[in-house]
Each structure stands twice: as structure tokens, then as C-alpha cells.
Amino acid sequence: MSVDRNVLIVDDSQNMEQEIKQYKSIYKKMKESGRYKDLDYNLNLFYEKDYYKAIKILKGKEIIDIVLIDYDITSVNDKTGEDLVKEIRSSINKHCKIIFYTMGELSTVFPDRKEMIELFNQGIFKFLSKDQKSINEFEYGKSTLQVRVEAMIEAIENIDYVQIALEKYFVKYLEIIEDEEILVDGNFYSIQDLISAIRLDKEAGKIYKRNLANSLIIESLESGK
């Protein structure tokens, strides 16, 4: 059974609906080519032009595995893609894979190399510049879009599946267990606070994940499996 992977694209392009279709077409062709053995998942692609609506989506119930962010989203926003990266990492999610791209030259976008290093230190999985070349000898669609699809595939292969599984479990059953509190390292946490702690890699989240992993290992050893 194919697994769903959710990708949010934040871009103020007027052609996003058409580009989404092309992303899907490229991925479908790559999947059907037989050259990729592990593409056993579906790509659910969402896009948003508005900075603040993108933030709302990222804070919502839908778990976003990957965020593609265009550097220049200022035609409809008062902030840049760089600002979005910083906000995601500081207050929303430290684990989702971020792919950052620009249609400008790298030297133009980041005339000060320190700014580029600072951005990468925020936890960028991949940076795609205007002149980025495909790693594939076969063409499945427009070159710049194929490069982004390849980056999505690479990001998915690097996902922390335990992290994602925990997030999805809590979000799925949030309405049922939202009044419950979970004891972690001597303190009680609401489900929402624990979700936030897991996403932001806070100490309570790390301890909960570690305790869960230990209990699963013990259970496995005791059952002899």
C-alpha cells in the first residue's frame, strides 16, 4: 500500500496550478519508468502564496513532510522565503524537510556569504539555485521542475519516520485524547503541548521519543521477536 507524503509549496508564482500538474506528471513518469525501486508513496502537493496562510497550514492538523520555499515571495507578501524558514525552525517544526529554491543567481541572492551560511544553519535540507542540474540522465519534464521533484524524493528518503509516525498518531486522535495528560520526566503535558515539543525538538519531546523507543525494544525482547 502506498504511503502519502505531504508537500507544501510556498511560492507567489502566477503559474502554480500548472506547475503542480507538471510536478505530478514528472513524478508519475519517474515512478512508471521502473528506474526507481522505492517510490512506493503518493505525493500530495499543496501550495500557498500567502506567508501567513502557509504558517497556518504548517501549524495545523495536516502533517507536512516537506516544504518547498521560493526565496522571493515578496510580490504578495511583506516577508521573504528566508523569513519563513526562520519562523518554521524557531516556532513550528524543526524536523520537516525544507527545500529552498530561487530563480536568481546564488551570488545575487546572497551577496554576503554569511547570510547564506546562516540560512543553511537553520536546517535547510537542499538549496536549489537557478543553474542546478538534474542528477538524472533522463528527462521527464521541464528541467527546473524535475530538479525539484528529485529533491523531494531525496528528502523523503531522509525523513525520520518515527518522528512523523508520532506526529500523525497524536494529530489523528487529538479530538479523542485532547483532555488527557501524559507524564514525561516528572511533568504532565497536554497532547497539544507534547505535539509541539516533538515538532520543536524540545527536551520533553526527545525524552518521550526515547522512552517510547526503549519500551518497544524491551517489549520486543520479552516477546522473543
55: CATH? 3.40.50.2300
Give per-residue pLDDT as tens, 133-144. Answer: 888 889 999 999
Verify that 187 and 217 share a domain, yes or no. yes
> Is residue 147 within 8 Å of 123, Cβ to Cβ?
no
Residue 187 has pLDDT above 60, yes or no: yes
Q: What is the mean pLDDT of the chain?
A: 85
Identify the band that residue 219 occupies on the pLDDT scale cut at 50, 70 and 90: low
Verify that 89 and 140 share a domain, yes or no. yes
Which pTM was predicted? 0.78
Q: Which of 133, 159, 185 lies at the terminal end of a domain, its last residue?
A: 159
Poorest-pLDDT segment among 7-21, 80-94, 186-200: 186-200
Residue 5 has pLDDT above 80, yes or no: yes
Bigger pLDDT: 119 or 222?
119
Pick the most confident of 32-41, 93-102, 111-120: 93-102
Which domain does 189 fall in, by range?
162-223
Name the strands in the sheet holding 41-48, side by side, starting at the edge strand that comes first in the sequence.
41-48, 3-10, 66-70, 97-101, 126-128
Residue 54 has pLDDT above 90, yes or no: yes
Query: Cα angle at 110 between 127 and 79, to 5 degrees?
Result: 80
Verify that 118 and 194 share a domain, yes or no. no
Domain count, the chain: 2
| Region label for 73, one of left (φ > 0), alpha (ψ between -120 and 50) or beta (otherwise) | alpha
Q: Which of 132, 159, 186 lies at the terminal end of a domain, its last residue?
A: 159
- Tell me what pLDDT residue 15 has: 93
Verify that 174 and 136 share a domain, yes or no. no
Verify that 130 and 213 share a domain, yes or no. no
Verify that 99 and 185 share a domain, yes or no. no
Verify that 206 and 110 share a domain, yes or no. no
